[in-house]
Structure 1
Amino acid sequence: MKKVLTVIGNIALYLGVFYALLYLLRSTYNYEATLSFAKFLDRNPAMFMVVLFTLITLVYMLIFRIKGWIWPHAEKNLFRASGFKRLSGSRILLMIGLGLAGSLFSIGLIVIDDIAQRFPSIPALVDDLIRGDSIWYVILGAGLIGPAFEEILFRGLIFSELRRVMPVYVALVLQAAAYAYFQPSAALSVISIGSGLIYGGLYLRTGSLWSPILVQNTAMGTIFLFKYFGFYEWFDKLGDVSLYIITALCLAALIGGSVYVWRTSGNGGIGARVSQALTADAPPAAQKGG
């Protein structure tokens, strides 16, 4: 019970920091001294993400440092605790490929008229985030820092906490559900259930948070770059039949590539380390089967 309460408390702390700093940043609209800064962020929503998520990450780093001072055996480094481990060159290329497949799948959902009309929140999100003073603000915030922060929070912290008190595959589903809950619309939540499972699975099997970060950064970065450079208009000229086929193939490539990673990651992933830790903690008689 103590471990469960600790996990609940840690997750509540991470989310509490998120909401507290979100409120603090939004309150800049209320003061004359910070009004110009607030207007800049209002004009550039991607830069709002940069400021908010950078501040939250710094506070998370401080929390881990304080925990390390209070409990000597606790992990003191946020990034080490989140699983920032180096990937091989082949894995990096594979993650970039998965990100490109995810990008084209998402663009298909945006440019296919029937889908865009039924689920307008998908193109609306891209339209909202791409507005601003510079495309590089958009890439920095919505393409790089925003997705990286999502992975730190949902996979590196929440998923890691949940794995401490429940079967790893239950934790995998719950972190995907939590990820979906925080999306701005029902349609995006449904998509995020699937992407959350994929990101969590990649993290679980490779043991590195860089895996889902690379996929997300590639997907989100190219979504906004392609929008900015007019690729959507060219893509739309292919016609709905071709777009449906390409979108379906990209989804199949994303799922198939994720399954390939799952099957070929060997014993170095998080799931293997969890099993080893449980075995190491078991009494000698249990390890021997008696």
Structure 2
Amino acid sequence: MKKIAFAIARIAFYLGVFYALLYGLNHLYRIDWTAPFVELLGRNPALFMATLFASITLVYALAFAGVRRLTRGGSPSLAEAAGLRRLPAGAALGCALIGVLGCLFSIGLIEIPAVAEAYPSIPALVDDLLRGDHLLLAILGAGLVAPAYEELLFRGLILRELRGMMPAAAALLLQALAYAYFQPSPALSAIGFGSGLLYGYLRLSLNSLWAPILVQITAMSLIFAAKPAGVYEAVGSLGGAGAASVAAGSLLLMLAAAGWLRLRYASRQRLADAAGERANLRERTVQG
């Protein structure tokens, strides 16, 4: 019971830091000397995201470092707790490919006229985040920093805590539901739930947070870069049926690639981790 209570307290801390810094950043306008910075963030929503999520990650890192110092190395660092373990080159390439397919799925979905009309929040999200002083700011904030933070929080820290309380399948489902809850609209929540399941599946299958990070930063960066490059118009020129085919085909290939990565690398990763644990145990035994 104590273990569960501590896990819930840690999750509450992670979310509490998020809300506290979000509140603070949203109220900077009350401080006169921050006016130029506030104006810059107002013009660049993606830069706001980059500032917020980088600040939260720094607080997490300092908190983990403080606890590690107090326990004299008995507690994990932020990277260790989140599962930032090395990925084999082939697995990393496969995750990047899934990210490319995720980009195509998103563009295909946005360019289906019926979807855009019924769920305007989906295309509006891309347009809003592209609003700013430069495309590179959108890619930095919404394509790199925000996806990395989301994976750190949901597939790294929260999934780790949930796995300590329940079976892996239940933890996978619950973190996807939490991820969906934090999306800005019901339509994006539905997409977020599916994405959360895929990202969590890759995290558990490959035992590394780098897997979903690579998928999401590849997908999101390309989603924003593709807009001024004319990719959206090219997919839209295929018509509703053509765009739907792009979306459906990309989705099927994504699922197939995720399954292949699990078959190809999961057992190998488990053996490598087991070997590493045995080596650490032998080292501790010798030192003892």
Task: Judge same fold: TM > 0.5, yes or no.
Answer: yes
Partner of 1:203: 203
* 1:268 CA drift (Å): 5.1
Q: Distance in 1 between matches of 2:61 and 2:73?
A: 16
Partner of 1:107: 107
Structure 1 contact 180–189 (Cα < 8 Å) conserved? yes
* 1:80 CA drift (Å): 1.9
Give the match's secondary structure for 2:266: coil
Q: Distance in 1 between matches of 2:263 and 2:119?
A: 34
Partner of 2:7: 7
CA-to-partner distance for each residue in 1:183-234, whole Å, 9 max, x for gaps? 0000111111111011001010111111101100110000000012222112
Deviating beyond 6 angstroms after TM superposition, the runs of 4 or more aligned structure 1 residues are 270-274
Structure 2 contact 111–236 (Cα < 8 Å) conserved? yes
Q: Distance in 2 between matches of 1:77 and 1:268?
A: 25
Question: Is 1:253 aligned to 2:264, yes or no?
Answer: no
C-alpha distance 44-81 of structure 1, shift in aligned 2 (>3 A): same
* 1:273 CA drift (Å): 6.8
State how 1:1-290 maps to structure 2 within 5 Å. Answer: 1-72=1-72, 74-267=74-267
Partner of 2:284: none
Give the match's secondary structure for 1:266: helix
* 1:263 CA drift (Å): 2.5
C-alpha distance 206-3 of structure 1, shift in aligned 2 (>3 A): same
CA-to-partner distance for each residue in 1:47-98, whole Å, 9 max, x for gaps? 0011111110110001101111233464342112211112122112111110
Partner of 1:285: none
Q: How many residues were matched structurally?
A: 275
Q: Distance in 2 between matches of 1:105 and 1:120?
A: 17
Q: Distance in 1 between matches of 2:25 and 2:111?
A: 34
CA-to-partner distance for each residue in 1:156-197, whole Å, 9 max, x for gaps? 100001111111111111011110000000011111111101
Give the match's secondary structure for 2:87: coil
Q: TM-score, normalized by length of structure 2?
A: 0.91
Q: Distance in 2 between matches of 1:270 and 1:241?
A: 43
Structure 2 contact 179–196 (Cα < 8 Å) conserved? yes
Q: Distance in 1 between matches of 2:103 and 2:71?
A: 43
C-alpha distance 192-74 of structure 1, shift in aligned 2 (>3 A): farther
C-alpha distance 169-188 of structure 1, shift in aligned 2 (>3 A): same
CA-to-partner distance for each residue in 1:121-161, whole Å, 9 max, x for gaps? 10011011011001000111000011000000001100001
Q: Distance in 2 between matches of 1:223 and 1:266?
A: 29
CA-to-partner distance for each residue in 1:15-48, whole Å, 9 max, x for gaps? 0001001111111111211111111001001100
Q: Distance in 2 between matches of 1:33 and 1:223?
A: 35
Gapped runs of 5+ residues in structure 1?
278-290
Q: TM-score, normalized by length of structure 1?
A: 0.91
* 1:9 CA drift (Å): 0.2
Q: Distance in 2 between matches of 1:176 and 1:269?
A: 24
C-alpha distance 89-272 of structure 1, shift in aligned 2 (>3 A): closer
Partner of 1:287: none
Partner of 2:281: none
Q: Distance in 1 between matches of 2:269 and 2:176?
A: 18
